[in-house]
């Protein structure tokens, strides 16, 4: 990749975001209203957390397609641990959150074990486990949407601090945590190294299997947090709570500039990608454009982003 192309790829997401904001605000001045910007931020909270988890896996050259299944599984665990409309929950309140996140992390770790020890490609291992997660959630929830009546969980979406929903603060904290993991921890350095030059990492004596399993577990934990935020906003647990989130998460990672081959990009790039996707979604709604137009535009953006961030020849397949 040439220097010019690298520079273009690094600034393109920011230029796209700025261009979208300008274009939409010209067409519809209401776009830049404080209420609408807060609405965009609140709607971006869960997708951002999910995309951060997906970013970790993609950075090491793999891919995780279990987002929707992981969310369904975590959402079902949440319903079982808090007060719900069926009256069968444990009513643990916020104490349920560590249990939900731990369960989601274990689910992600299992994907990593299947991928590494059984040598199943990551996209197949995660896709298969995603269906398993959906199945478990459907059984646990009886195939129904179970309302969450626990006020502490609902507060994540309904309560505001300084006029901002708590979910925005949670997403900001998860972004900061993801940045620290990526840039200031051993697992973060090894994750990036795996995506850039796996053979060198193996030669240095690092246990690659353990790194991959841990990264999938971390991604699972982020998916668990995303499921909690989505369930709080929906006001219910459902096997379909993550419907459409896989496309949004992977799209945001790619549009933000993280290479599918791994080793370049990161969580701040993903933040830009999420904002681009959510601004586009919001703008299309405000302008009254049909959903298929929005999907078509996003599809074109993904193709352009991939071309900018990958060498034209010799594209690697996700491991």
Q: What is the pLDDT of residue 210?
A: 94
Residues 6+ positions from 11 with CB-CB distance below 8 Å: none
Residue 318 pLDDT > 70: no
Neighbours of 313 (CB within 10 A): 5
Which residues span the domain enclosing 301?
A: 10-21+30-309
pLDDT, mean of residues 75-98: 90
Confidence class of residue 228 from pLDDT cuts 50, 70 and 90?
A: very high
Residue 145 maps to which CATH number? 1.10.3470
Neighbours of 159 (CB within 10 A): 14
Question: CA neighbours within 13 Å on the CB side: how many for 205?
Answer: 0
Q: What is the pLDDT of residue 298?
A: 75
For the chain, percent helix, then strand, then coil, each to nearest 5?
75, 5, 20
Question: 154 with 148: CB under 8 angstroms?
Answer: yes
User: The whole model's pTM is what?
Assistant: 0.91
**Do the domain assignments include residue 4?**
no
Average pLDDT score, the chain: 89
Q: What is the pLDDT of residue 5?
A: 56
pLDDT, mean of residues 143-155: 92
**Do the domain assignments include residue 5?**
no
Task: Select the more confidently predicted residue: 112 or 90.
Answer: 112
**Do the domain assignments include residue 158?**
yes
pLDDT in tens, 152-162: 999 998 999 99
pLDDT, mean of residues 142-164: 92
**What percent of the chain stands above pLDDT 70?**
93
**Do the domain assignments include residue 319?**
no
Task: Give the Cα separation of 184 and 15 in Å (integer).
Answer: 28
Confidence class of residue 313 from pLDDT cuts 50, 70 and 90?
A: very low
> Structural domain tally of the chain?
1
Residues 6+ positions from 298 with CB-CB distance below 8 Å: 251, 255, 277, 280
Task: Give the Cα separation of 241 and 15 in Å (integer).
Answer: 32
**Do the domain assignments include residue 1?**
no
Least confident of 164-178, 195-209, 245-259: 195-209
Task: Give the Cα separation of 257 and 70 in Å (integer).
Answer: 24
Full DSSP string of 142-158: TTSPEEB--HHHHHHHH
pLDDT, mean of residues 247-270: 88
Buried b (16+ CB within 10 A) or exposed e, 105-139: bebbbbbbbbbbeeebebbebbbbbbebbbebbbe
Q: What is the pLDDT of residue 314?
A: 43
**Do the domain assignments include residue 222?**
yes
Residue 312 pLDDT > 50: no
């Amino acid at each position: 990749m040439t220097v010019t192309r690298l520079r273009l790829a690094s600034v393109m997401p920011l230029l796209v975001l700025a261009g979208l904001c300008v274009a939409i605000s010209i067409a519809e001045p209401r776009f830049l209203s404080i209420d609408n910007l807060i609405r965009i931020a609140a709607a971006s909270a869960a997708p951002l957390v999910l995309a951060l988890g997906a970013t970790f896996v993609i950075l090491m050259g793999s891919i995780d397609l279990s987002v929707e299944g992981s969310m369904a599984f975590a959402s079902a665990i949440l319903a079982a641990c808090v007060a719900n409309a069926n009256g069968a929950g444990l009513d643990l309140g916020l104490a349920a959150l560590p249990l939900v996140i731990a369960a989601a992390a274990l689910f992600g770790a299992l994907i990593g074990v299947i991928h590494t020890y059984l040598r199943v490609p990551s996209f197949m291992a995660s896709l298969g486990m995603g269906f398993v997660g959906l199945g478990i959630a459907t059984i646990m929830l009886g195939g129904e949407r179970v309302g969450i009546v626990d006020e502490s969980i609902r507060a994540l979406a309904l309560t505001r601090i300084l006029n901002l929903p708590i979910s925005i603060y949670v997403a900001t904290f998860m972004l900061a945590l993801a940045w620290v993991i990526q840039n200031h921890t051993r697992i973060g350095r090894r994750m990036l190294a795996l995506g850039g030059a796996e053979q060198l990492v193996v030669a240095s004596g690092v246990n690659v299997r353990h790194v991959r399993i841990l990264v999938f577990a971390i991604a699972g934990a982020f998916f668990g947090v995303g499921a909690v935020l989505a369930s709080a906003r929906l006001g219910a647990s459902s096997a379909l709570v993550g419907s459409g989130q896989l496309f949004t998460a992977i799209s945001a990672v790619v549009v933000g500039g993280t290479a599918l081959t791994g080793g370049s990009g990161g969580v701040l790039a993903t933040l830009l990608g999420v904002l681009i996707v959510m601004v586009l979604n919001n703008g299309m709604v405000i302008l009254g454009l049909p959903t298929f137009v929005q999907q078509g535009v996003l599809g074109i953006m993904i193709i352009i982003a991939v071309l900018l961030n990958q060498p034209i020849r010799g594209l690697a397949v996700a491991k």
